[in-house]
Structure 1
Amino acid sequence: MSLLTDLKVKYKIAPIHEKFIFVNIGIFAIIAVFNAIFFLGTKSHLTLFSEYLALPENLSKILFRFWTIITYNFLHFGFWHLLGNMIALYYFGRIFLTFFSVKQFINYYFLGGIFAGIIFIISYNVFPALINENAILFGASASVFSILLGATTRSPNYELNLFGVFKLKLWVFATLYVISFIALIPLANTGGQLAHLGGVLLGYIYTKQLDKGNDIGKGFERLTRLFNGTKSNNLKTVYKDKSKVGGYTKGEFSEFNNQKKIDVILDKISKSGYESLSTKEKEFLFKAGK
C-alpha cells in the first residue's frame, strides 16, 4: 500500500482528537511547503495564509474574511507552537472523551475557538491598551483549553499522573493555566491570552449547560461527518435475499464475518500498533472504511 493510503487508513481508525491532530499537522505541512517554495523563488516571505486564514482584529477586514473565525483554529506557523498545542490536544482530548461524546468534542473545539475569536475582536476594539494595535490570532490553543475546561468542569477531581512522579487534580492543573493567562496579559501575547480565557470560559459554560440538559453546540453536529467519517442516512431501496440458512441470509453472514475480521484487526492494532498489520489486513481495513 502507498503512504497516502496508509495515512487514509490511520485517519479513518483514529479517535476524534487524533483526527484533529492529523488535520492541524496536515495544514501546517502544506503551508510550510508553499512558504519554502515562495521564499526560494522570490527571497521574500509569503503572507497569503496569515492575511486570509488568520483572524484579524480589524472589524472591516473581518467583514470580508468572515471564515477566519474558523480557519484560525487550524493555523500554525511555528513548529514549537504546533507541537505544544498538539501534545495538549492529545492528552486533554483523551481525558475529555472519558466524559463526553465525539460530537461534543467537535462542538467544544469549534465553539471554543469561535467564542475565543469573538473575545479577541471585542478586546481590540474596546480596551484602550489595544484599540490602536494591529494583531492577528492563530493557533488551536483556545479550542484546546475549551476542551480542558469542559473536562475539568465535569470532573474537577480527576487525577493526572504527571510524568509518573506525582499526581495533580485536574482543577488545580486548569487553575494554574488560567492564572498564567491572566498574569501574561500585560507582558506578552495579550490577544492570545485573552483568547485563551475565552476558550476557558466557553468550556466551563458549555459543561454547565449540559449538566442542565441544554446542549448549546447541537448545531455543530453536522461537522461530525467531516471529521468522523459518518455516512449519510439516505433512504435506499433494499432487496431482501429470501434464501436463508439457519434464519440468516447470505448477506447477513457476510456482514457478520467482515465485522469479526475488523474486530480482530483493530484488536491487533491496539496491542501491537498499526505497523504490525500485513498488507492484506491494511487493504481490508481501508476497503471496510469506505
Structure 2
Amino acid sequence: MELRDRLQYEWSKSNNVVMRIIMINVAVYLLFATIVIISKFGGFPALQDFAIKALYLPADFMDVLYRPWTLITHAFTHSLGDTLHIIFNMLIFYWFGNIVVSEAGSNRLLGVYVWGIFAGATAFLMLYNLVPYFIAFKPHMAGAIGASAAVDAVVVAAATLLPNTKMRLLFFGEVSLKWIALAVVLMSFVSLAGGNAGGNMAHLGGALMGYLFVVQYRKGNDWSKPVVSFVTFFQNIFKRKPKMKAYRGGSAASDEAYNQQKQARAKKSTEEQNTIDEILDKISASGYESLTQKEKQILFQASKK
C-alpha cells in the first residue's frame, strides 16, 4: 500500500516529466519481462513473438507501415538480457534530464525526448533501407529497442544549453557537459564499425536532434509545442470530467443561502490546501517516510482529485 501511494504521489506531482518517463520505461520493461517469462515457462513461444513484434521497431520500412506504433514503443522497451541497458539509460536520463528542466522547463524536456525518439528511429531505418551493405542484414533483424537515442538527445541538449557547466564523474572528477556530450557522440560514431551499427546510428540521430532542438529553441522556435499539445489531448481523453451542476436563480433568501454555501466550500478548499502544503513541506524537510498514515492518506486522496 505504501509503495503504491508513493508511486501515485510521484506520478501526480506537477511538471514531473523526468520521473514519469522513468516510471513508464520501468513499467514497460517489467511488462515485457512478464510476457517473456509466461511465454517460456508456459510453453507459448507465439506469445513472446507477438510481444517482440508489438514493441520492437522493425528494420524494414514496409513493416513499419503495418506497425506504426513501434516508432514510439521501441523507445520504452529494453533488452531483458542486459539489465544494465535500462539502468544506465534511466540514470543518465535522470541526471541530464533535470539539467534540461532547470534551464528550459519540463515541456522542453518532453519535446527533446520525443523528438529524439523519432530522430533515432529515422536514422535506424535509413541505415537499413538506404545503405547497400546493411540492406542484406535487414531480414535477419528482430528490430530496434531502447531509449538510448532519446537519452542521447537529452544529453546533447543539456550540453548545448549549459556547455561549461561541470558534472562530477567517477574516476574523472569534474568534467564540462560539452566534453561529456562529445564523448557520447564519438563513442557512438566509432561503434558504427561494430555489431550494433543500427543502434549506434540511432544514437547519433538522437544526439543531432538534441542539438538542433536547443538551437531552434534559442531562436524562438519551440519544437516541444506539438508534442505537449498531443500529450495534453491524450491525457484529457482519460481525465474524469467534473459533473455539471445547474443553479436556478430564485429569491433573495435562496441567493443568500447559495452564497453562504459557496463561501463555505471556498474556506474548506483553502484549509485543505494549507494542510497539503504543510505535508509537502514535511516531505521536503524529512522525507516521505516521516509522514503519518493519516497524512499519507490525505496526500493520496488529494492526488486523485
Partner of 1:242: 259
Which deviates more from structure 2 when the two are superposed, residues 269-278 or residues 16-25?
269-278
Partner of 1:280: 294
Aligned pair partner of 2:63 in 61, 64, 72? 61
Deviation, structure 1 residue 267: 2.1
CA distance in 2, matches of 1:122, 1:167: 37
1:107 pairs with 2:115? no
Deviation, structure 1 residue 184: 0.6
Q: CA RMSD in A?
A: 2.8
CA distance in 1, matches of 2:168, 2:302: 37
Partner of 1:72: 74
Contact 2:10 2:19 in 1 (8 A): no
Deviation, structure 1 residue 161: 2.1
CA distance in 2, matches of 1:133, 1:286: 51
Deviation, structure 1 residue 218: 1.3
Which deviates more from structure 2 when the two are superposed, residues 162-171 or residues 196-205?
162-171
The correspondence of residues 197-276 of structure 1 with structure 2, limited to 5 A, is 197-221=204-228, 222-224=230-232, 242-243=259-260, 249-276=263-290
Identity of paired residues, percent? 31
Aligned to 1:120, the other structure's residue is in SS state helix
Partner of 2:51: 49
Partner of 1:22: 23
Q: 1:93-134 CA distances to partner (integer Å, 9 max, x unpaired)? A: 111111122222211111110111011101111112211112
Give the residue type in structure 2 aligned to 1:190.
A
Q: 1:37-73 CA distances to partner (integer Å, 9 max, x unpaired)? A: 2111118582222212111110111110011001111
For normalisation by structure 1, the TM-score amounts to 0.89
Alignment CA distance shift 1:227-1:175 (3 Å)? farther
Give the residue type in structure 1 aligned to 2:7.
L
CA distance in 1, matches of 2:49, 2:22: 24
- Name which one, 1 or 2, has greater alpha-carbon Rg: 2
Give the residue type in structure 2 aligned to 1:36.
I
Partner of 1:122: 126
Aligned to 2:193, the other structure's residue is in SS state coil
For normalisation by structure 2, the TM-score amounts to 0.85
The answer for unaligned runs of 5 or more in structure 2 is: 248-254
Deviation, structure 1 residue 196: 0.4
Whose relative contact order is higher, 1 or 2, with alpha carbons under 8 Å and at least 6 apart? 1
Alignment CA distance shift 1:151-1:117 (3 Å)? same
Deviation, structure 1 residue 257: 1.9
Contact 1:225 1:231 in 2 (8 A): no
The answer for unaligned runs of 5 or more in structure 1 is: none
Partner of 2:250: none
CA distance in 2, matches of 1:180, 1:258: 52
Report the structure, 1 or 2, having the larger helix content: 2
Contact 2:188 2:203 in 1 (8 A): yes
Contact 2:100 2:108 in 1 (8 A): no
Deviation, structure 1 residue 238: 8.6
Aligned to 2:259, the other structure's residue is in SS state coil
Q: 1:190-224 CA distances to partner (integer Å, 9 max, x unpaired)? A: 01111001111111111111111111231111315
Partner of 1:4: 4
